[in-house]
């Protein structure tokens, strides 16, 4: 990663330039048996499409606030980086009534209806599948995102010193987020090529950092596990071995 990177979007661009083919996010849902592996290039393509949706169809601007009502999931990671690309502030599990936009999973739709702005729903089905019946009042992410462009350019430069993230009542600028992610990576023993397995939720900074930002900051990758508590010790040990995990944060 480059020392000059000051936003999460910068980190992703550097990762893409360094080695687009390497794995970045490997996602497991141990309630459904789902496994998805995204290379840097594939992840970056999803981010570009989502950022185009956000900036274009949803008319989001730098400084707008987006309530992110999603669990730890590979699509949640995509939205975090898409917001960084546009300059939208992510309020993790924030109040939809106080947000300009809301992005919701299937379990938080009623709460998300409090948002008076644009509402996007994710079914969180395997392979990014759509809702069998689109929720009323929401755009279905899986329907809207495929037609978006594969390259993204922001209408306005993203300010690294502007607010970027709020979680657990603490706000972070993009530059502060990147600096803290690098510190966390060092504490977790991550270096380029490391693979970190984590079962932490995305409701805390510690979960967001281990589950995305710290590995991204140093050229590592993450094995992101949802419902990890369903695995016994033997199954977890087998996953650590098969995924070539070098460290854990559970």
Its pTM stands at: 0.98
- Determine contact, residues 238/226, Cβ cutoff 8 Å: no
Would you kindly state where each structural domain of the chain is located, as residue ranges?
8-249
Give CA–CA dist 85/97, Å, rounded: 24
What pLDDT was estimated at residue 3?
Answer: 82
- Determine contact, residues 75/56, Cβ cutoff 8 Å: no
Each residue of 190-233: pLDDT tens digit?
999 999 999 999 999 999 999 999 999 999 999 999 999 999 99
What pLDDT was estimated at residue 2?
Answer: 81
Query: pLDDT averaged over consecutive 10-residue blocks of the chain (250 residues)?
Result: 91 97 98 96 98 98 98 98 98 98 98 98 94 95 98 96 97 98 98 98 98 98 97 97 97
What pLDDT was estimated at residue 127?
Answer: 86
Give CA–CA dist 78/241, Å, rounded: 26
| The domain made up of 8-249 is a member of CATH 3.40.1000.10 | no
Total residues found in the chain within this entry: 250
Rounded (10°) CA dihedral 8, 14, 15, 20: 130
Which residues, in sequence order, are CB contacts of 137 under 8 Å at separation 6+? 113, 119
């Amino acid at each position: 990663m480059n020392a000059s990177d000051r936003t999460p979007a910068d980190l992703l661009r550097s990762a893409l330039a360094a080695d687009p083919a390497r794995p970045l996010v490997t996602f497991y849902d141990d309630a459904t048996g789902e496994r998805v592996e995204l290379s840097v290039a594939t992840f970056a393509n999803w981010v570009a499409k989502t950022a185009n949706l956000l900036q274009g169809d949803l008319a989001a601007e730098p400084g707008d606030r987006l309530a992110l009502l999603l669990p730890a999931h590979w699509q949640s990671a995509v939205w975090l980086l898409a917001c960084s690309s546009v300059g939208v502030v992510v309020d993790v599990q924030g109040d939809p009534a106080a947000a300009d936009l809301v992005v919701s999973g299937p379990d938080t739709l009623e709460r998300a209806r409090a948002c008076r702005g644009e509402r996007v729903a994710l079914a969180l089905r395997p392979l990014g599948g759509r809702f069998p019946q689109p929720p009323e009042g929401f755009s279905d992410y899986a329907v809207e995102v495929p037609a978006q462009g594969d390259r993204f350019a922001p209408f306005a430069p993203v300010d690294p010193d502007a607010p970027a993230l709020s979680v657990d009542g603490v706000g972070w600028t993009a530059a502060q987020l990147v600096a803290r992610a690098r510190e966390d990576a060092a504490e977790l023993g991550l270096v380029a090529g490391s693979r970190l397995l984590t079962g932490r939720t995305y409701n805390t900074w510690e979960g967001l950092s281990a589950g995305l930002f710290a590995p991204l900051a140093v050229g590592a990758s993450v094995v992101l596990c949802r419902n990890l508590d369903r695995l016994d010790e033997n199954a977890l040990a087998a996953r650590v071995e098969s995924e070539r995990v070098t460290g854990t944060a559970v």
